[in-house]
Amino acid sequence: MKVFPPERIRNVALVGHNGSGKTTLAEALLYRAGRINRLGTVEAGNTVTDYDPEEHDRGMSLSLALAPFVWRDHKINLIDTPGYADFAGDVHAALRVTDLAVFVVSAVDGIEVQTAYAWKVAEKLKTPRMIFINKLDKERASFDRTLAELRDRFGAGIAPIELPIGKEEAFHGVADLFRSKAYIYDSGKAEAVDMPEELAEREREVHDNLVEGIVVADDDMLEQYLEGTVPSVTELERTMAAGVAAAKVFPVVCGSATGPIAVDRLADFIVELGPSPLDRPPAKVIAGGQEVEVPKDPDGDPLAFVFKTFADPYVGQVSVFKVLSGTLKPETHLTNGRSGQDERLAKIATMFGKETELVASAPAGDIVAAAKLQDTQTGDTLAPKHKPVKVPPVDRPAPVIATALVPRTQSDDDKLASALHRILEEDSSLKLERNDETRQTLLYGMGETHLNIALEKLERKFGVQVDQEPVRVPFRETITRQADAEGKHKKQSGGHGQYGVCHLILRPLARGEGFMFVDAVKGGSIPRQYIPAVEKGVVETMQSGGRHGYPVVDVEVTVDDGKAHSVDSNEMSFKLAARAGFREAFEAGSPVLLEPISIVSISVPMQYQGDVMGDIAARRGSVQGSEASSDGFQIIKAMIPTSEIVRYAIDLRSLTHGWGTFSAEHDHYQEMPSHLVDKAVADAQ
């Protein structure tokens, strides 16, 4: 593929709910552009952008994929994104680097969960948006219903520039509201004809509304329009393009990706109305602790932002980046702003699905890839050595569910750490944690499917097999009343023996106070040099666990008496005596199990608020309050036992049909009801 200047580049992300037809639309665009000679299907597993075996097995996109093509002497860097909630991290990454988001909305199903979610993300990033109403040739498809839903949810900026011709199976073309022309696809390709008589009146009405909506954005054009001068199509498109670039106007086009009908027109509008990288604000970077803007100048210093990494067991790591400034060429040397590592971009390529195609250079605004960089991860910035800067990282959603990994064999154990590191390089929405308290290796993700896919790739790509086990909850133990005991350690086996006696008093402390040790020995009954050994014995016993094996907390331990032998006493003797004394006193102190409590923030549409609150009560939680958010959702704050929300991501998604989201963090420990202790301990073990 030849090199295109920034003004002839369009970086476009296809976003929307799973099943809306994004991958099929990508395939249709590539077919219309002559990039491929046949239309693949998701069902057959032969599309360009869904190429992983896991995607074929499930029939859906699991990762973003690139598929550039040329249209009307413009390079369109197309990014097909996943539409399933578990893989929303790639939607964040794609919207961060593209200059236009094409929202694919099913005319049958309307606005679904992930469409609304992606719109929020694009709104936050101020990404320009266009909407493609898809599947107009399907049963129960309705352009009018979908358009009304778009206006109701996304506001006055929604601007239809096409109308469908025919309904459901009879859908066979579109009416262009700019040119007042019809385009019929009965022969498979667009044929321009006069507006059908049955559409003429509606077309005039919608056309007039469109023109009025456009001219109000330009004072000069508005004045001429009021004087009776109708703007030309070129003037209207130029003004609308400015509104699109400012993320204030959202054109709506329509068609069918499977037809394919009006897909070529979508490509036309991407070129005509979609902003180039030069139409978007300068990149913001951190230099010397301050935020500065970097012009998108092909002649400036080279600067690249890595937004995706692919791990290949044969090729190695492939880093995909957007060129923010300058022009990258093979053998360019840049410095990683995070690690300080010098990186050599030996070759530069575009990615077409799983294939790579070498390019001679990549100017500012382009999206390309490089393989085998030494120490570069997703979110890193590559810049000249003398000008180290960092681009703020992609704001991805936090993982919400975890699973514990257990290697099947010693060989798997040996390879696990390295393989997991490679998997995390590819998908930065995953998080790995070693919990020393529960002695588990935990992998966190966005959902059950997300975790399962990661483990399937772990085995397929790197030959590492693991089993999953439930995540253990880190319970604690404490006492509820004062108790005391005398600990003794006496051993005689010829020569010097071992002898130590200490009297311990245990008192409960308030929650969160931890541990306090008091030396109240008088008269030298325990020599001063052995007091630290008593404390050490107590601390070690608390850490090793109480009745159920969980760490002991919130206890004050006082040593007030004891006995020593001039020959047989030593530090070990008093440490072991302290252990025995603590265990006996702990059992006499009416021990209880403490469970962790999380503070949970739940965002749900109003219609699910009652169901969610009822579910919180069923989980032994208590609602702390609720308030309405700016987007019409309800934010519910609640305290819920951590053991009750281990799989809450799955349950909340089911309860709210995918609309609910939550975040949780540890808040405090509290006593677990006695009738639940035995079951909790059994489940944990």
Contact indicator for 25, 117 with CB cutoff of 8 Å: no
At residue 614, what is the residue type? G
CA 204 distance to own-chain centroid: 44
DSSP string, 624-653: EEEEE-TTSEEEEEEEEEGGGSTTHHHHHH
Residue in this structure with the two tokens 């252990």, named with its chain if needed: 579
The whole-angstrom separation of Cα 376 and Cα 383 is 12
Q: Is residue 211 included in any domain, yes or no?
A: yes
d(CA 41, CA 47): 6
Same domain, 172 and 304: no
Residue 510 lies in a domain: yes
The whole-angstrom separation of Cα 346 and Cα 372 is 9
Residue 180 contacts by C-beta under 8 Å, 6 or more apart in sequence? 195, 203, 204, 207
Q: What dihedral angle (degrees, nearest 10) is formed by the CA atoms of 71, 76, 79, 83?
A: -50
Q: Of the candidates 635, 679, 637, which has an alpha carbon nearest to the alpha carbon of residue 660?
A: 635
Q: Are residues 441 and 412 in the same domain?
A: yes
Please check whether residue 370 is in contact with residue 347, taking contact to mean a CB–CB distance below 8 angstroms.
yes
The answer to whether 251 and 161 have CB atoms below 8 angstroms apart is yes
Domain co-membership, 204 together with 272: yes
- Check residue 658 and give left, alpha or beta (phi > 0: left; psi -120 to 50: alpha): left
pLDDT for the residue 495: 65
Same-domain check for residues 71 and 96: yes
Helices (H), 129-187: 143-154
Phi, psi of 109 (to 5 degrees): -100, -15
Residues 147, 193 share a domain: yes
- SS3 at position 456: helix
Tell me how far apart the alpha carbons of residues 397 and 583 are, in angstroms, rounded to a whole number. Answer: 45
Do 222 and 323 fall into the same domain?
Answer: no
* Single-letter residue type at 532: P
Q: Are 229 and 308 found together in one domain?
A: no
The domain boundary residue, chosen from 419, 450, 469: 469
- Tell me whether residue 55 is in a domain: yes
Reduced DSSP (H G I as helix, E B as strand, rest coil) percent helix, strand, coil of the chain, to 5: 30, 30, 35
Residue 232: C-alpha distances to residues 72, 178, 239, 242 (Å): 21, 9, 11, 16
Q: For residue 425, what are the CA distances in angstroms to 380, 430, 444? A: 11, 9, 14
Within 60-177, residue ranges assigned H as helices are 88-97, 113-125, 143-154
Task: Quote the pTM value.
Answer: 0.90
Query: Which residues, in sequence order, are bridge partners of residue 104?
Result: 132
CA atoms of 530 and 242, how far apart (whole Å)? 80
Give the end of a domain, one of 248, 279, 310: 279
Same domain, 370 and 309: yes
Give yes or no: residues 373 and 420 share one domain. Answer: no
With contact defined as beta carbons under 8 Å apart, do 154 and 119 qualify? yes
* 465 and 481 part of one domain: no
How is residue 214 written in tokens? 């456009």
Surface-to-core class of residue 91, CB atoms within 10 Å of its CB (0-12 exposed, 13-18 middle, 19+ buried): buried
Say whether the peptide bond before residue 281 is cis (omega within 30 degrees of 0).
Answer: no
User: What separation in angstroms does the CA of 113 have from each of 140, 144, 234, 490, 605?
Assistant: 20, 20, 36, 69, 11
Q: What is the DSSP string of 172-202?
A: -EEEETTTTEEEE-TTSS-EEEPPPHHHHHH
Query: Bridge partners of 178?
Result: none
Position 437 scores a pLDDT of: 86
- Choose one of 279, 310, 345: the last residue of a domain: 279
Residue 322's domain spans which residues? 288-383
The count of structural domains within the chain is: 5
What's the CATH number where 678 sits?
3.30.70.240
Strands 9-15 and 100-106: parallel
Q: Which of 669, 663, 485, 464 is nearest to 561 (CA)?
A: 485
139 & 248 share domain: yes
Q: Given this model, what pLDDT does residue 322 score?
A: 98
The pLDDT assigned to 494 comes to: 63
CATH label of the domain that carries residue 96: 3.40.50.300
pLDDT-flagged residues of the chain (< 50): none
DSSP string, 586-618: HHHT--EEEEEEEEEEEEEEGGGHHHHHHHHHH
Spatial distance between the Cα atoms of 85 and 448, rounded to a whole number of angstroms: 11
- 8-state DSSP, 4: -
In a domain, 395, yes or no: no
**Is residue 513 a part of any domain in this protein?**
yes
Do 580 and 604 fall into the same domain? Answer: no
Is 394 domain-assigned? no
Closest CA to 304 of 242, 260, 370, 256: 370
Q: What are the backbone angles phi and psi of residue 652, rounded to the nearest 5°? A: -65, -40
CATH of the domain at 346: 2.40.30.10
Residue 627 lies in a domain: yes
Q: CB–CB of 380/389 below 8 Å?
A: no
Cβ atoms of 578 and 537 within 8 Å: the answer is: yes
Token pair in block for residue 620? 């032994």
Q: What is the CATH number of the domain that holds 424?
A: 3.30.70.870
